Chain A
Amino acid sequence: MAGFDKRVYSYEEAMAGLEDGMTVIAGGFGLCGIPENLIAEIKRKGTRDLTVVSNNCGVDGFGLGVLLTDRQISKVIASYVGENKLFEEQLLKGEIEVILTPQGTLAEKMRAGGAGIPAFFTATGVGTPVAEGKEVREFKGRKYLMEESITGDFAIVKGWKADHFGNVVYRHTAQNFNPLAATAGKITVVEVEEIVEPGELDPTQIHTPGIYVDRVICGTFEKRIEQRTIRK
Chain B
Amino acid sequence: MALTREQMAQRVAREMQDGYYVNLGIGIPTLVANYIPDGMEVMLQSENGLLGMGPFPTEETIDADMINAGKQTVTARIGASIFNSAESFAMIRGGHVDLTVLGAFEVDVEGNIASWMIPGKLVKGMGGAMDLVAGADNIIVIMTHASKDGESKLLAKCSLPLTGAGCIKRVLTDLAYLEIENGAFVLKERAPGVSVEEIVAKTAGKLIVPDHVPEMQFAAQ
Q: Does A74 contact B (CB under 8 A)?
A: no
Tell whether, in the assembled complex, residue B165 and residue A111 are in contact, meaning their CB atoms are under 8 Å apart. no
Q: Does B147 contact A (CB under 8 A)?
A: no
Q: Does B163 contact A (CB under 8 A)?
A: yes
Which residues between 92 and 125 of chain A lie within 8 Å of chain B, taking CB atoms? 92, 100, 102-108, 110-111, 122-125
Which residues between 195 and 226 of chain A lie within 8 Å of chain B, taking CB atoms? 207, 223-226
Tell whether, in the assembled complex, residue B84 and residue A127 are in contact, meaning their CB atoms are under 8 Å apart. no
Q: Does B200 contact A (CB under 8 A)?
A: no
Other-chain residue from B46, B120, B131, B163 in contact with A105 (beta carbon distance below 8 A) = B131
Tell whether, in the assembled complex, residue B86 and residue A32 are in contact, meaning their CB atoms are under 8 Å apart. no
Q: Does B182 contact A (CB under 8 A)?
A: no
Total residues of chain B contacting the partner, CB 8 A: 53
Q: How far is A82 from B62 in the complex, measured between Cα atoms in Å?
A: 23
Q: Does B44 contact A (CB under 8 A)?
A: no
**Chain A binder among B6-14, B121-129, B185-193:** B121-129
Q: How far is A174 from B84 in the complex, measured between Cα atoms in Å?
A: 9
Q: Does A151 contact B (CB under 8 A)?
A: no
The smallest beta-carbon distance between A73 and chain B, in angstroms, is 16
* Chain B 147-162 near chain A by CB (<8 Å), digits 1 or 0: 0000000000000011
**Chain B binder among A5-13, A41-49, A176-184:** A176-184
* Chain A 136-168 near chain B by CB (<8 Å), digits 1 or 0: 000000000000000000000000100000000
Q: A102-B126, A127-B166 are in contact. Are A172 and B63 (CB under 8 A)?
A: yes
The smallest beta-carbon distance between B204 and chain A, in angstroms, is 21
Other-chain residue from A100, A107, A224 in contact with B86 (beta carbon distance below 8 A) = A107
The smallest beta-carbon distance between A97 and chain B, in angstroms, is 13
Q: How far is A30 from B116 in the complex, measured between Cα atoms in Å?
A: 17
Q: Does B37 contact A (CB under 8 A)?
A: no
* Chain B 36-62 near chain A by CB (<8 Å), digits 1 or 0: 000000000011111000011111001
Q: Which residue of B48, B57, B89, B125 has the most chain A CB atoms within 10 A of its CB atom? A: B125
Q: How far is A129 from B117 in the complex, measured between Cα atoms in Å?
A: 11
Q: Does A78 contact B (CB under 8 A)?
A: yes
Other-chain residue from A31, A78, A108, A227 in contact with B125 (beta carbon distance below 8 A) = A78
6 additional A-B pairs beyond A174-B65, A180-B84, A225-B67, beta carbons within 8 Å, are A103-B47, A103-B131, A104-B47, A173-B50, A223-B64, A226-B67
- The residues of A with any CB-CB pair to B shorter than 8 Å are 29-33, 55, 78-82, 88, 91-92, 100, 102-108, 110-111, 122-130, 160, 171-180, 207, 223-232
